[in-house]
Chains A and B, each alone.
Chain A
Amino acid sequence: MPSIMSIGLSGLLAFQKALDTTSHNITNVNTEGYSRQRVEFGTRPASELGNGWVGTGVDTLTVRRLLDDYLIGQTRGSGTIVQGLDAFATQAARLNNLLGDSASGLAATVQKLQNAVEGVTTEPTSIAARQVLIAEARGTVDRLKFYDSQMRQIDSDVSRKMTAELGELTTLSQGIARLNGEITRGFAATGQPPNDLLDQRDLLIDKLAQKVNVTTVNQDQGVVNVFIGNGQALVLDTRALSIGSQPDAFDPTRPVIVLQSPQGAVDITESITGGQIGGLLDFRRQMLDPARNQLGLVTVGVVDAINTQHRLGMDLTGAAGGDFFSVGPGAVLANGSNAGSAGVAVTRENLGALSGSNYELQFVSGSWNLRRADTGAVVTLSGTGTVADPLRAEGLAVVVTGTPAAGDRFELRPLTEATAGLSVRITDPARIAAAAPIRTGAALANAGAGSISAGEVLDPANPQLRQSVAIQFLTPTTYSVNGAGSFAYTSGQAIDLNGWRATISGTPAVGDRFTVADNSTGLGDNRNAAAISAALSRNVFNGGTTSVNGMVGRLTSDIGVTTRLSQVNRDTQKIMYDDAIRQRANTAGVNLDEEAANLLRYQQAYQAAAQIIRIANEMFDTLLNAARG
């Protein structure tokens, strides 16, 4: 008799727990990271009554959460990947949108500049045309600087975002360590899994995995250890290691990721992959840095084409052209831990050989080693590093002053500061050098069929450049210069003198005279402006295969292709991630209809168990009444 009462009671208790658990499930239907729980029932040990085993009711064995490590690992891994790709794609889209508008874009700006040069070529004496050129040159500078500042903005945003994410990493790892402790205590107290705490910890690890690639190892007592990078411990049992950022040894504006391990601070930046932090690092390495260098190449290309030719020209005041633009120098960043006193300066010597990469220069066992930052390849250096004989490689010249210590390192950034230092030097329209400083002529009385080329300036600094020179033919094959000497004449061969070059061709007669003279009255001369326009179209980059416009095209298509690729990768990975999430939810997520059915089921069972109590009570009453007689 007491057994029926206790059996009924066991049912009431079990079903009450089941109803509790179902209600818990229903109320947590929208809780992030929650896994549905189920009460597992088991029969109580039966009692032996000599002629058989009679059951003694139901027991709740445990409350189980319906989630396994396989599902967790799957969502966590693809979460790391998708978050990395998403962070990359988000930043890539910013860079991409920057170059979006083709009407106000870089190519259009450079073309406007070239058009303005053409305008001066057509009307070299027009002050208005010259003013347009100065305005367009400023427009080009503004546009290049706009891109440069926006890229710097993106760079500093990336740094800031990384620092913020790193701060969250510490919070998350501390949370995981705390939960490790609570979970251990929960296990110890009951021998049963503290499901909700496990959910909370899994959620924190999920969030951690979205920031950076982590690996986990399960220990006894429900403890999970978390490792980051190349297996550096982030959470060990109840201890979380501090992770943070510190300024880069070369470039203090950029943070590096540092783990404060018992052995001291370890820079783990290079080993970080995946997650938002990994994505940001990848974006900077694979897209932003190359884009900034390509923009620098465009700047240097425009400046070099115009300056080089402008220096050879003559302005409206009759003076030599000089530089049209100022441009930023190559930047050198010394490592903060350098022990020597060496200073390093880098200059761009040969545009055609520039790679568009940054470099690391290191002083190892008495000599300098150069390594490309993008590929890591070692670059052979020539020269000794003095001003007279600089270290040379890939279009760069490096001059070292002072004394380096072994192991001293410098980062060379030949292009990143070029645009920031860009400005238009010419402010007076009259100072635009549209003319050439010399002109050539043939005497009217010449009887032969010889002609002289327009002449070009080789060395604008030659003091004799603009002195009048008369070339007179002594015989059809020899000529004198200013009445002196006798030089052999070959048709079409260049004559280099006083810093200019002219070519006489054809068959001059004896006594024929050709002159090279000062062109200071030649204000209507447009030869230098025409040469500037031609220089802007010339192929200067990559060993003379790519023009400035080609470089703009490459910058645009590189950014476009990388952005598109990152979006496609992200979208593909997102589908896999969503699928993993769905699979996990299919197992662990709450279905309200199911819970409603369970509610009914356990309610009915509870009511039935209550009926058992009633029956037991009635049986007891029957027995009492029978005994009373």
Chain B
Amino acid sequence: MTRIATATMQVDAIVGMLQRQSELARTQNELTTGKRIRTPADDPAAAVQVMNLQRSLDANRQYESNAITAGNRVRFEEQALADITSSLQRVQELALQANNSVLDEPSRRMIAIEMRTRVDELVDIANRRDASGEYLFAGFSSTTQPFARTAAGVAYYGDASSRYVNLSPTQKVADGHSGLEVFQDIAAGNGTFQTAANSANSGSGVVDSGSLLSRPAWIPDSYTVRFTSPTDWEVLDGSNAQIAAGASAPGGVATVEFRGVRVSVTGTPAANDRFTITPAGRQDVFTALDALVSSVESSTTTAAERAQFATRMSGSIAQVAQSIDHILGVRAEVGTRLNAIDSAESAREDLDLELQRTLSQVSDVDYSEAISRMNLQLVGLQAAQQAYTRIARLSLFDYL
């Protein structure tokens, strides 16, 4: 038999009740907050996990806002590119209309006036800004107006850079193209070489834009096709050495083939008329359009002038088509960027759900378990209270 001190009985009963009350308070706190973890000590490993999950969720929210901002900007660019395409297509229509020797000069001037308006419109679009006032096509120099007309044509004041925005810790997307990429980096001629008629030509020979027969055979250089008579021609290279020669039927087409290229000269060139074939460089949209307008405005009184006109118009029309193709290529890239932003968005939503689910598993209270625990603790507390009141009342002194 163990002897028990009166004070021990009292203290034990009270400590027991306090203990149960503190357990109950904890359960109550879990139930009211819905959280299993209040401080790191409750479950250190889970607390760090909760911290990291919460952090990933916060980071995701930022990536979401990044994607929205980048998406808006890319959509602005997409709209600008669509406007540019339709403007260029209108210019192309006008050019085809103007490329008609039957049309008299005043009619062509009328066409030229509309073309100029379209070119100005294109400069305006190229200087368009996004919702936050940044120029769309200026590269990093997004607060500098990128395009302005100078005496020498439309000049570019931006740079060649593009800005990348993070869509996730590992994925980023460019939120625009520089003006250089959109308006300037366009292949001239047929992409390999370009043809032109010498302005001093007196015959009616017209050169086409030519075609590439064999790329390995092509040696980039400045070539000249010189007619020694209306039917005899020779090809000179950059150092004026003859590398090919031939003749065509009178009034027929002179088909000049050398070093993997073929150009055709129609009409009747005069002796000593020259046509040049130079490696294609890069030509910007505005230079091409300015050249087109000045071709449209040129005089076509003499046969030679008409021949010059025809050569220049065919070159310009080809260049406008090249520009439209180029812009369409840029639009395709913009489309893939929008797709990337959209698919990153849905991937992020999936990740968000997964993170939320894990977070809930780690930190949320299991209500059914907590409620049954609370009931058990309540019963325990009641039992302790009842036991105390009954035992504490008993004393031998009551019977003395």
Residues of A within 8 A of B (CB): 29-30, 92-93, 96-97, 99-100, 102-103, 105, 107-108, 111-112, 114-115, 118-119, 121-126, 435, 439, 441-442, 444-445, 447, 454, 519, 521-526, 530, 533, 537, 549, 552-553, 556-557, 559-561, 563-564, 567, 578, 582, 585-594, 596-597, 599-600
Contacts and interface: CB of A to CB of B under 8 A. Distances in A.
A102 B66 contact: no
Given A108-B54, A441-B159, A557 B140 contact: no
Interface stretch (B34-42, B232-240, B317-325): B34-42
B70 to A, nearest CB: 6
Contacts of A522: 139-141, 159, 161
A108 B55 contact: yes
A122 B165 contact: yes
Interface stretch (B56-64, B80-88, B91-99, B270-278): B56-64
Contact of A439 (B55, B65, B144, B161): B161
B107 interface: no
Contact of B159 (A115, A521, A556): A521
B132 interface: yes
Interface stretch (B45-53, B335-343, B344-352, B382-390): B45-53
Contact of B40 (A96, A103, A599): A96
Contact of B39 (A97, A121, A561, A585): A97
B59 A556 contact: no
A444 B180 contact: yes
Of B2, B41, B133, the most chain A CB neighbours within 10 A belong to B41
Contacts of A578: 15
Given A444-B184, A524-B134, A560 B141 contact: no
B40 A107 contact: no
A537 B169 contact: yes
Given A592-B395, A593-B396, 8 more contacts: A108-B51, A108-B58, A115-B61, A521-B144, A586-B8, A589-B5, A592-B6, A596-B400
A588 B5 CA distance: 8
A564 B166 contact: no
B73 to A, nearest CB: 9
Interface in B163-177: 163-166, 169, 172, 175
A442 B159 contact: no
Contacts of B140: 435, 439, 519, 521-525
A557 to B, nearest CB: 5
Contacts of B144: 521, 523
26 contacts: A29-B6, A93-B39, A96-B39, A96-B41, A100-B40, A102-B50, A111-B58, A122-B70, A122-B166, A123-B132, A125-B143, A445-B282, A522-B139, A522-B161, A526-B163, A556-B47, A556-B51, A557-B40, A557-B47, A561-B40, A561-B44, A563-B41, A582-B12, A585-B5, A593-B6, A593-B395
B6 A93 contact: no
Given A122-B70, A592-B395, A600-B400, A549 B41 contact: no
Contacts of A530: 164, 166, 172
Given A521-B144, A525-B161, A107 B52 contact: yes
A217 to B, nearest CB: 29
Of B6, B42, B135, B279, the most chain A CB neighbours within 10 A belong to B6
Give me the 10 closest cross-chain CB pairs, A-B, nearest first: A589-B5, A560-B40, A524-B142, A560-B44, A522-B140, A563-B41, A115-B62, A525-B140, A596-B396, A100-B39
Contacts of B44: 556-557, 560-561, 564
B34 to A, nearest CB: 13
Main secondary structure of the interface of A (DSSP, over half): helix
Interface in B93-137: 132-135
Given A105-B51, A121-B165, A122-B65, A596 B40 contact: no
B52 A591 contact: no
B257 interface: no
A567 B7 contact: no
Of A93, A445, A585, A599, the most chain B CB neighbours within 10 A belong to A585
A325 to B, nearest CB: 21
Given A123-B132, A124-B163, A556 B41 contact: no
B260 interface: no
A524 B141 contact: yes
A249 B93 CA distance: 92
B220 interface: yes
A556 B40 contact: yes
A597 B279 CA distance: 125
Interface in B289-323: none
Contacts of A594: 3
Contacts of A591: 3-6
Contacts of A125: 132-134, 142-143
A444 B220 CA distance: 17
A234 B132 CA distance: 77
B159 A107 contact: no
A513 to B, nearest CB: 12
A556 B281 CA distance: 62
Contact of B65 (A119, A442, A587): A119
Interface in B145-199: 157, 159-161, 163-166, 169, 172, 175, 180, 184-185
A96 B12 CA distance: 30
B381 interface: no
A115 B59 contact: yes
B161 A454 contact: yes
A110 to B, nearest CB: 8
A121 B66 CA distance: 9
B54 A103 contact: yes
B7 A589 contact: yes
Nearest to B69: A122
B69 A441 contact: no
B331 to A, nearest CB: 21
Interface string B366-389: 000000000000000000000000
A526 B184 CA distance: 23
Contacts of B206: none
A108 B52 CA distance: 9
Contacts of A582: 8, 12
Interface in B66-83: 66, 69-70
B256 interface: no
Contacts of B254: none
B163 A524 contact: yes
A441 B158 CA distance: 12
Contacts of A596: 395-397, 400
A525 to B, nearest CB: 4
A441 B140 CA distance: 12
Given A559-B40, A586-B5, A549 B62 contact: no
Contacts of A444: 180, 184-185, 281-282
Contacts of B184: 444
A552 B7 CA distance: 48
Given A125-B142, A523-B143, A589-B8, A553 B52 contact: yes
A514 to B, nearest CB: 11
A520 to B, nearest CB: 9
A72 to B, nearest CB: 16
Contact of B59 (A105, A114, A445, A524): A114
Contacts of A599: 400
A582 B47 CA distance: 38
